[in-house]
A and B are shown apart, each in its own frame.
Chain A
Amino acid sequence: MKYLLRTDWWKWLTIALLIYVVIGGFMFTVPRLPILNETIRVLHFHVPMWFGMLFLFLGSVIQSVRYLANGRMENDIMSSQLAEVGIVFGVLGMITGMFWATFTWGEPWSSDPKQNASAIGLLIYFAYFILRGSIQDEQQRAKIASVYNIFAFAALIPLLFILPRMTDSLHPGNGGNPGFNAYDLDSNLRLVFYPAVIGWTLLGFWVATIKIRYRKLKEQLDD
């Protein structure tokens, strides 16, 4: 995170990747699949949101662990800002997912285990912000919020990665459904999909670095 705050070559990379993703995502040829048809293009916008969210939450948890280890406020600021951006990504992922599901599964909410799990994941992080809001003392807020962040992230992992695989799911790769590779996530899609994951994730970190800087300046002004 510190490295990202110091350098900015990766911002150029983000811009390049995202321009490529938007153009490639809408223009390249996609495989003709029944039901999916052209909606498969949402792949480049829906799935990377979840990847981005997970990386941002992971970053947030790492910062929380660091805060508990050394007690520097800086780490707590990073942790809370990363979580905030992560939740925006989660909401966007959910909206794009519901949009996609309307055209492929027939309704926005089909009680798919992964959908439910991600809704709960978002609940956890909304609760995290309510928790932060409800404690006045700064040191105590940072400490308690860090503890909850780590505890909740550990609960989120089985929810997102273990439980959906045990029951029937509409998502690819779950409940006996073949994963992406077995479908033809063909080379054309891959060509855009992997850059999209990297690009959107980096964009999330970019937003987070701006928010972190802003927070730090605000703290300095308050002191």
Chain B
Amino acid sequence: MTVLAPANEAELAEAVADAAAARSPLEIRGGGTRAALGRPVQAEKTLSTAGLSGISLYEPGALTLVVKAGTPVAEVEAALGAQGQMLPFEPMDHRALLGTEGEPTIGGAVACGVSGPRRIQAGACRDSMLGVRFVNGRGEVIKSGGRVMKNVTGYDLPKLICGSYGTLGVISEISFKVLPKPEAEATLVCDGMDAGGAVEALARAMGSPFGITGAAHDGQAALVRIEGLAGSVTYRTGQLQNLLGAQWRVLEGTESAGRWRAVRDVTALTGEIGGGGAIWRLSVKPSDGPAAVAAIQKNLEAEAVYDWAGGLVWLRVPEAGDAGAGIVRAEIAARGGHATLIRAADPTRAGVEVFQPEPAPLARIARGLRAKFDPEGILNPGKMG
């Protein structure tokens, strides 16, 4: 397997232009820790963005960070942390769930549209993106957006690039809005609560004025996170205890942080059942989460954990046959939302629709966009269908 490793954006553009001229498909790779997402790619060459690394500009006073795509997420978080700031969208680390190694890159997180528990309050990865530079399938360097907080100058291509799994362009640089790191955090925990009761309680918390930044059920307990200035966290924790009930105990500091890291990375499902286990990710109306899971469990052995107040459901099911695709998708079709197969062996992922099939007019638009951005079909071909 040939690996192309451009050292800068110009080399990246040249590599893609060459591949386009030769109609030679490329598998786009950041740190490789999320390479197993999407459908398997058939490509002769791998194009690595690891050489495009480093922070181009960081202005804490403007809450702005511009960073090259191959920069490790850990490096980005360390640089922000040194100034008491953070990425708002709390990107998940997929290594435990996917059993991968290597360093997750910021470009990979954006390409896969990865967000964590704070998504319910601070927005998703796409919401933090102020601008992007990418190389399209013709080898042209394209910039869209910028590095300012508000920008409606032309179409919002950063949104389109986020979550496009490298199929519309190879990201070279991203600018983000960042946020101050909260001075304090606390978590209210209700042990032994079932998912249905938890999602109801989480909705009550989310409907309060107390600025919840995490609302999850990790299989064991319902969890509500509060972050901010120390006095404010104490106040809101108390108010939420009044609202939810005295059985909700309080975790603070590193204990709280550790619990949310586990939620973010779905560590509750990282073990295996029966020597295998496929993982599904369901995105549904939050109050639908538990009922959808209960319906699926009538036909399929499945374990579930919930984030985003119930709107994000992780399911572990046996990998036999279609990994439960028929059952899961039928349930989703009846309720709205979508289901993505996150973890399964290559033959399974090649055989079932990894992403939820879209209605015909939207699928046509998606195909049209791919054809415009990547006319030769060389960027991660087949990854998204």
Question: A and B: partners?
Answer: no
B→A interface (CB under 8 Å): none
